[in-house]
Amino acid sequence: MRWPVIVIFCALWSVAGLSCVDKPKHPDNLSSGVIDISADETYRSVIDEEKKVFDSSFPDARITIHYKPEAECFKDYFDNKARIILVTRDLTKAEKDLCEQKQVYATSVAIARDAVTLVVNNDCADSQLSVQAVKGILTGTYKTPYTVVFDNQSSSIVRYVTDSLLGGQKLGSNVFSAKGSNAVIDYVTKNPKAIGFVGLGDVGDSTDPNNTGAFIKNVRVVGLYNDTVKDYLKPYLAYIGLKQYPFIRKLFYVNRESYPGLGTGFANFLLSPRGQLIFAHAHLYPLNMEITIRDASIKEQQ
């Protein structure tokens, strides 16, 4: 069997969207100070790891991260409660126009590519699905009735599914929200007729010593059919990088700092070689690294 193998080469530290204009003194700078930021709660595990390494490198920095549904992160941004937010979409034209009207120095950069991941019970027969079948499951018209579980009714995953997959079509009565990604996985573990939608970081096996892209064992990750390659693909890093896995999205930072402050410093770190490697280890595809994808033959153990 042939599997894609990722080869990663660290790029130089990249600084995007920074202002080099001299400003009066501020209470914070790129490596020190105290700020609050808001982040999409589906990325808690990987952003916590990013912050842990950042804190060890910059002991004078105090960043408090508030994990929330994506819609609330944008509200914090426009209410000036968070100088930087980590979300799965860029600012819309209307939002950029609003920033210009309010004289907000808005910058945004895509830092990693992620996958919306489907999980089912280990006893479930439907471990491989077409995109059309997933649409049927979400609208309650699929041949087999499933209970669909999301992390939060206002989450970025719900927005992705309704906007990008269903095109605004309503979700079925078989859909409900749990209290976070862990609750989704717990529910699916206990219910053979449930299917959960979570972020890729929630199903990556952090105990895998070789970081081969293994998934947690208490649920099954669904393979989705790609019409081009004529195969069912799971959200492995290479398939995300090649955009072959059907349900992919990007993680952005959106910054409102008008000077090189601590929010900008943290954004720089997320784009640095160390920050990008942390994303890769969390099974996200880093967008600021040179990556080579090669085929390799691997003999599976019997």
Residues 49 and 143 in one domain: no
103 plus 37 within the same structural domain = yes
In a domain, 159, yes or no: yes
pLDDT at 13: 45
Residue 157 within a domain? yes
For residue 149, pLDDT beyond 90: yes
Residues 131 and 218 in one domain: yes
Judgement on whether residues 227 and 147 belong to the same structural domain of the protein: yes
Report how many domains make up the chain. Answer: 2
CA distances (Å), 189 to each of 67, 118, 119, 126, 235, in order?
A: 25, 13, 9, 15, 19
Predicted confidence (pLDDT) per residue in 85-127, tens digit: 999 999 999 999 999 999 999 999 999 999 999 999 999 988 9
How does pLDDT run across 128-142, given as a tens digit for each residue? 999 999 999 999 999
State residue 5's pLDDT score. 55
In a domain, 174, yes or no: yes
Separation CA 47–CA 69 (nearest Å): 15
Average pLDDT, the chain: 88
Task: Reply yes or no on whether the pLDDT at 14 is more than 90.
Answer: no
Is position 38 within any domain?
yes
Pair (14, 104) in one structural domain: yes
Same-domain pairing of 76 and 168: no
Domain assignment of residue 39, yes or no: yes
Question: Residue 301: inside a domain, yes or no?
Answer: no
- Residue 298's pLDDT is 44
pLDDT-derived band of residue 180, with 50, 70 and 90 as boundaries? confident
Helices 93-101/70-78 angle, 10° precision: 20
Q: Are residues 166 and 192 in the same domain?
A: yes
**Residue 297 domain-assigned (yes or no):** no
CB 288 within 8 A of CB 271: yes
15 band by pLDDT with thresholds 50, 70 and 90: very low
pLDDT value for 302? 37
Residue 105 shares a structural domain with residue 193: no
Residues 258 and 239 in one domain: no
Q: What is the mean pLDDT of residues 215-244?
A: 94
Query: Are residue 162 and residue 259 in the same domain, yes or no?
Result: no
The CATH number of the domain holding residue 85 is 3.40.190.10
What global pTM score does this model have? 0.84
CB-based contacts of 212, cutoff 8 Å, min separation 6: none
* Per-residue model confidence (pLDDT) at position 168: 81
Report residue 232 as tokens: 């069912």
Identify the pLDDT of residue 153.
87
300 assigned to some structural domain? no
Q: Print the domain residue range for 201.
A: 114-248
Residues 119 and 7 placed together within one structural domain of the fold: no
Mean pLDDT on 3-25: 52
What are the tens digits of pLDDT across the range 53-65? 999 999 999 999 9
In 40-123, alpha helices (H):
44-57, 70-78, 93-101
Q: Quote the pLDDT of residue 67.
A: 96
Please indicate, yes or no, whether residues 123 and 222 belong to a single structural domain of this protein.
yes
